[in-house]
Amino acid sequence: MKQVAAITAMAVAASPVLAAVADDEGAAVRLNAATIARAVSAVPQPPGATDAGDWSRVAELAPGREVVITTDAMAAVRRRVVVADAPGITLIDLTHPHVPAHVTRVARDLLVNAPESLGRVADGGTVVRGRVRLAPNGIFLDGQWTGDIETLLLHVARQNVVEVREDLERSSAGLMTTAMLLVPAGAILEATSGGWRRPEPDINAGTVVGGGLLATGVILGVVALKRGSPSGRSLLVYQRPVRSRPVD
């Protein structure tokens, strides 16, 4: 309800500017509700069922992207992508309670700056970073074995992946926060630049930028609400096709 109220407040704040129309040497500047509607409609929507069996969508996932994956061996779990390609997908768990905090910090840095090194470990290689060594035979901190490499890294062959979903719920809060910052910033800029002056508002660089901030804030707020809704909390990236059994 708070988010709905926030979006309503955004729309009310934006309405004076969205209705403003000006003509400057034949170049019209119009910021109105139709502009907002077109921009919102341009936001990418979840893929349809016809895309669900396309593995190339998984291969396009960038390192660090958070997904919820279901495999033949385990129920849905949340992991971050290390590398995804035609043979399968390699994932990392940066929240496992049995992985030492220092190892997690090193692994997080590798994921951001050198994800290919983590991919090599999943393929049987070894990576050493300071006090940490990651190898097929385990995770080592200061030369001491601290756990199986599988507690940190997981490789799943393509044929064993049942479903991959991109987690959107966590990103909605960030979008809403950004929207709540952009809307008042745009309103202040509009007011100080004469955009709400009556009967004829001034149209200048300040009012155009202010209107853009207002419009962007409203759009981000709408997207955040969509992602926060029960139907928008995850995006289906891949679902293993159900192969029909031959008819006897």
Residue 132 maps to a domain: yes
Distance CA(82)–CA(100), nearest Å, equals 19
Q: In what order do the strands lie in the sheet with 132-135?
A: 127-129, 132-135, 138-141, 144-147
Supply φ then ψ for residue 9, to 5 degrees. -65, -40
Q: Is the pLDDT of residue 91 over 50?
A: yes
Of the three residues 131, 165, 199, the one that is the final residue of a domain is: 165
Q: Is the pLDDT of residue 174 over 80?
A: no
Structural domain for 122, as ranges: 52-165
One domain for residues 42 and 124 = no
Most confident of 10-14, 174-178, 213-217: 213-217
Q: Say which amino acid occupies 7.
A: I
Q: List pLDDT tens digits, range 194-228.
A: 655 666 666 667 666 766 776 787 776 666 565 54
Which pLDDT does position 49 carry in this prediction?
44
Q: List pLDDT tens digits, range 229-239.
A: 444 466 889 99
Q: What are the angstrom distances between the C-alpha of 171 and each of 45, 168, 177?
A: 15, 5, 10
Distance CA(165)–CA(215), nearest Å, equals 30
Q: Say which amino acid occupies 19.
A: A
Q: Is the pLDDT of residue 108 over 50?
A: yes
Q: Say which amino acid occupies 78.
A: R
* 79 within 8 A of 85, measured Cβ to Cβ: no
Which whole number is the average pLDDT over 67-93? 94
One domain for residues 142 and 56 = yes
Residue 116 maps to a domain: yes
**Domain total for the chain?**
2
Which pLDDT does position 232 carry in this prediction?
47
Query: Where do we find the tokens 């995006």?
Result: 235
Residue 90 maps to a domain: yes
